[in-house]
Structure formats: structure tokens, C-alpha cells
Amino acid sequence: METLTTPTDSVFSRLPDPSSGVFTAPLQRPGHVGEDWVEPRQHVYGADENAVWDDLFARQMEVLPGRAASTFLAGLGKLDLGRGGVPEFARLSADLGALTGWSVVPVPMLIPDHVFFWHLANRRFPAGNFIRGRASFDYIEEPDVFHDVFGHVPMLADPIFADYMQAYGRAGWKAMRHNRLKALGALYWYTVEFGLVEEGGALRAYGAGILSGPGEAVFALEAASPNRIRLNVDRVMRTDYVIDDLQPTYFVIESFADLYHQTVERDFDRLYRGLGPGFTYANTAVIDIDDVLHRGTLEYHLRGGRRSGAKPV
């Protein structure tokens, strides 16, 4: 039955047209970009902007050895992202292309879901065409080139993760047919952005949201507050998430092959049909089916989180 509706490669090469019932964020496309949202050329970064990259890079390298997944650190090295200044996408794409066939394209801002899916499905990673200023050095609301390139691109140098990301993009077509973009978004959030992986008995971070900011790697791996729970796709896709504070719960994979197995090698049709209209679980919840590695005290969040200036303990 499903084979009749499973899209083929020619489908993924064309920009999808979300049907009118599908909820997508109302983003206003700037006049200078076309339907693909790709910038005509990469921004030319000035000396001050390149210095922001260098300082962010240096600060992360104080924190990440021993905390970032070895796959991430290997990608960072292979792509030589610390050679100085914001990477030039043409060169980065050539290097990355030789490793896994991915490229990196500049986009002005957050792009609509269906455009994002389409780029990923064609092994193009859309990355911000600007860098944060000094005033928002520690924390920005909109993903900039440091988050997108430093945080995401090293993982794309890994063949399994590269395939996972392409499959995630392709998965968007089915999620749109089922009007389940929020559920698929939760999976992205708890893996690509905030995922942890087991490595030789220890936990390491592979999520870009953890790796591109200063405080979250320590919090995610070492603090008593957050729950650390083994990834269960059905559970995660029913779990709410916040985008403006540290996470109360992190989900842990055994390996990238395990992530691939749980997602790419599974048909989500039945899962989508069984989902309720909203999220079932709060992002702080521990439920009876959870395989809990660390039950969090949730102290940071109980004290009010970022807004109240709580310490990330």
C-alpha cells in the first residue's frame, strides 16, 4: 500500500508545495532571494566579523574536547574550520563534497520548512549569511553562520550522519502530507540540535545547539538538573520543546547507526496516524516507559530558568 505513495528521487529534486492545510511558520521572503531562498552570493565578512568567528571558535575549543562527540571533532578537523575567519562556502562545499557529497549554501534567515526539507533532501545545508555581533556573543535567537557552520557542518562530514540528514529532509514530504511538521520538528530538535551519544561508556554531545554555545555543553553533560533519557522515537515525537532556554531533557543515542536504524529504516506512516493534535508530554516529564540514564533534579528550570537568572546547575 505504502509503495504507491512513497515519493521517488524525481519528487525530491523539485521544491515541494505544501498543501494549504499544512501549518508552516509565516516567514516573509526578502525580495533579493528566489524561491530557493539562497543568497546570490555569500556575505563578505570584515575583519571585526571574522574576529567574532575566531573568538567564538577559540572559546568553544576550550570546552568541547572531552565533551563533543569524536565524530564532531573529527569533522571539525577534516574541514579545518579553525583556519581563521568565517569559512568561505565555496571552499567548504568543495571539501565537504569530496567527503560526503554535501554542500553549504548561504540563506538570509530562518527559511520555511518545505524549503529547508528540499535543500536537505538534495544534500545542501542552508547556513546563515550573517554573524552575531559582540552584544549577543553568548546567546542569539536566530541561527547565525557560527551556529550553522560550526555547529552543524562537522557532523555532515560523517557518512552515516550525512545520510541521516538527507533522509530527514526527505521525511518532510510525508510529514507534510500528514500535517505533522511539529512532531518531525521535535525529532530534529532532540537529535540534530540537542542530541547526546554514548561513547565508550561516557556521554558526549553531537547536537549543534549544544556545541555552538558556551554553557550548554557543560549543562547537558554534567549538570544535575536535566533528565538524560535514551532516545525513543515515538516518545520524542510526542514531546514539547522550548527554543529559548537550556533543555530540561536530553535524549541519548547508542551510536549514529542506532539513530539511523530508529528513523531512516522505519516507516513513520503509522506513527503519524497515531499522534494526537498537540504534544502529549511536557519537556520536563519522565514517563514510565523511559529508559532513564539520569533523572534530573530540574532545579534550574524549577528556579525559573534563564529569565530568572537561575544558575545552570
First to last CA, the chain: 50
Q: What distance lies between CA 28 and its chain's CA centroid?
A: 22
Q: Which partner in ligand PHE, Fe ion, none is near 203 (CB below 5 to 8 A by kind)?
A: none
Q: What is the DSSP string of 3-64?
A: HHH---HHHHTSPP---TTS----PPPPTTS-TT---SS-----HHHHHHHHHHHHHHHHH-
Cell of 285: 516529564
Cell of 90: 565555496
* 274/266 Cα distance (integer angstroms): 15
DSSP 153: G
**Residue 155 vs 208, nearer CB to Fe ion:** 208
Residue 91: how many other CB atoms lie within 10 Å: 13
Give min distance, CB of 163 to ligand PHE, in A. 9
**Is position 167 an interface residue for ligand PHE (rule: CB under 6 A)?**
yes
Positions 83 through 102 that interact with ligand PHE (CB under 6 A): none
DSSP-derived pairing of the beta strands 196-199 and 249-253: parallel
Q: Which partner in ligand PHE, Fe ion, none is near 171 (CB below 5 to 8 A by kind)?
A: ligand PHE
Interface with ligand PHE by CB under 6 A: which range of 55-63, 70-78, 163-171, 238-246?
Answer: 163-171
- Minimal CB distance to Fe ion: which residue? 208
**Residue 42 vs 71, nearer CB to ligand PHE:** 71
Give min distance, CB of 213 to Fe ion, in A. 11
**Is position 168 an interface residue for ligand PHE (rule: CB under 6 A)?**
yes
User: How many chain residues are in contact with ligand PHE, going by CB under 6 A?
Assistant: 11
Positions 241 through 280 that interact with ligand PHE (CB under 6 A): 263-264, 266-268
**Residue 165 vs 233, nearer CB to Fe ion:** 165
**Residue 225 vs 263, nearer CB to ligand PHE:** 263
Are 63 and 214 spatial neighbours (Cβ–Cβ below 8 Å)? yes
Give min distance, CB of 212 to Fe ion, in A. 8
